[in-house]
Amino acid sequence: MLGLALDLLIAALVIGVALWTVRTRDDFAAIVGFVAYGLLLTLAWARLAAYDVALTEAAIGGGVTGVILLRASIRLKPVVTVRKPISARILVGLLCAAISAGLSAVVLLPMTPAPSLATEVRAHLAGTGLGNPIAGVLMAYRALDTFLETVVVLLALFGVWSLTPDAAWGGRPVMAGPTAAFGPLPLFGRVLIPVGIVIGIYIVWVGADAPGGKFQGATILAAMWILAMMAGLTKAPPIGRWRLRLLLAAGPIVFVAVGLAGIPLAGAFLAYPEALAKPLILLIEVALTLSIAATLGLLVAGPPETASGAEP
């Protein structure tokens, strides 16, 4: 009973901040509402017993997405929200409510028995050497999805970099404000970053057997890098540097190399020979962690705006 009351409270809060995010006239208030939404969804995921997803939502949905939205709110001029006429709002509201009602019907009239692959995952998990079923799905059964995802992350960065103004090509993205070095941020960074790096690596490592994993851990590592850049403790690298590009591509390259090696060794692309499954998965995870952390950090930093920071 207490559990259901808690669920009702979480659901009411999520709907409240979602409505706030859509309805407020102030762009900045909408961003703050969205960050709160991400954090509250984390609670919903935890209540759905999906702890791996909860960690991802906290790190990415509430965390780095919030940072990137705040970056945009500083660079963009506030736009005055003009309310549409009441008739349009009512019509759109009714149509959207109809879609919600349709989805609710699907929720209320589920298929029985519920579709599930849990039994199959359990049956083959031992062969991967992993204890966390989510890691097993990501790294073995649906490794192709995960591989393509890492490529998508890289492609998004290509997209962001291709929006660099011509004059700034090859420069450094700038994260720190002019007064960053005098504020409390450098001290905060020096205290938090060492702890954050340890936690990030721990989350990656523990992900084999418990909730956690490379995406969640890499996001924490990326956040520490972002904090260091924002506090002016370190500069973003020039985007033309080839060592940086090698680091960004290392994860997908290792992944595809192991995948191709699977064709002669285990009979299929992205299949692992059973005896080597755990070490190979670890190898891929370490390479992916470094690449994803670097890519996420640079996605948040955005394209370089001036060539002034090109070389020190």
Judged by CB under 8 A, the chain residues 86 through 145 that form the site for another protein are 88-89, 92-93, 96-97, 99-104, 106-112, 114-119, 121-123, 133-134, 136-138, 141-142, 145
Q: 48 or 187: whose CB is closer to another protein?
A: 48
Q: 99 or 275: whose CB is closer to another protein?
A: 99
**Do 165 and 305 form a contact (C-beta atoms < 8 A)?**
yes
Query: Among residue numbers 234 through 263, which ones bind another protein (CB under 8 A)?
Result: none
- Residues contacting residue 15 through CB under 8 Å, at least 6 positions apart: none
The binding track of 163-202 with respect to another protein, each residue x by CB under 8 A or -, is: x-x-------------------------------------
CA pair distance 208, 205, nearest whole angstrom: 6
- Residues contacting residue 72 through CB under 8 Å, at least 6 positions apart: none
Alpha helices in 64-85 (DSSP H): 65-75
Q: Which two tokens stand for residue 99?
A: 């879609």
Neighbours of 169 (CB within 10 A): 16
Q: 32 or 185: whose CB is closer to another protein?
A: 32
Q: Which of 1, 2, 79, 275 binds another protein (CB under 8 A)?
A: 79
Q: 24 or 265: whose CB is closer to another protein?
A: 24
Place of tokens 């940086």: 244
CB of 71 to another protein, least distance (A): 7
The binding track of 258-277 with respect to another protein, each residue x by CB under 8 A or -, is: --------------------
Alpha helices in 76-184 (DSSP H): 86-108, 118-125, 133-136, 143-161
CB of 143 to another protein, least distance (A): 11
CB of 12 to another protein, least distance (A): 9
**Cα-trace Rg, the chain:** 22
SS3 call for 113: coil
CA pair distance 224, 293, nearest whole angstrom: 10
Place of tokens 């940072």: 67
CA pair distance 239, 76, nearest whole angstrom: 23
CB of 103 to another protein, least distance (A): 4
CB of 110 to another protein, least distance (A): 5
* Site membership for another protein, residue 75 (CB under 8 A): yes
Q: How many residues contact another protein, by CB under 8 A?
A: 97
DSSP character at residue 49: T
Q: Which of 124, 126, 127, 152 binds another protein (CB under 8 A)?
A: 152
The binding track of 37-66 with respect to another protein, each residue x by CB under 8 A or -, is: xx--x--xx-xxxx-xx--xx--xx--xx-
Query: Among residue numbers 202 through 221, which ones bind another protein (CB under 8 A)?
Result: 213, 215
Q: 141 or 265: whose CB is closer to another protein?
A: 141
Phi-psi domain of 270 (left: phi exceeds 0; alpha: psi -120 through 50; beta: other): left
Stretch that binds another protein, among 10-18, 195-203, 230-238, 278-286 (CB under 8 A): 10-18
Q: 110 or 178: whose CB is closer to another protein?
A: 110
CB of 50 to another protein, least distance (A): 5
C-alpha 289, offset from chain centre: 12
Helices vs strands, H then E, count in the chain: 12, 0
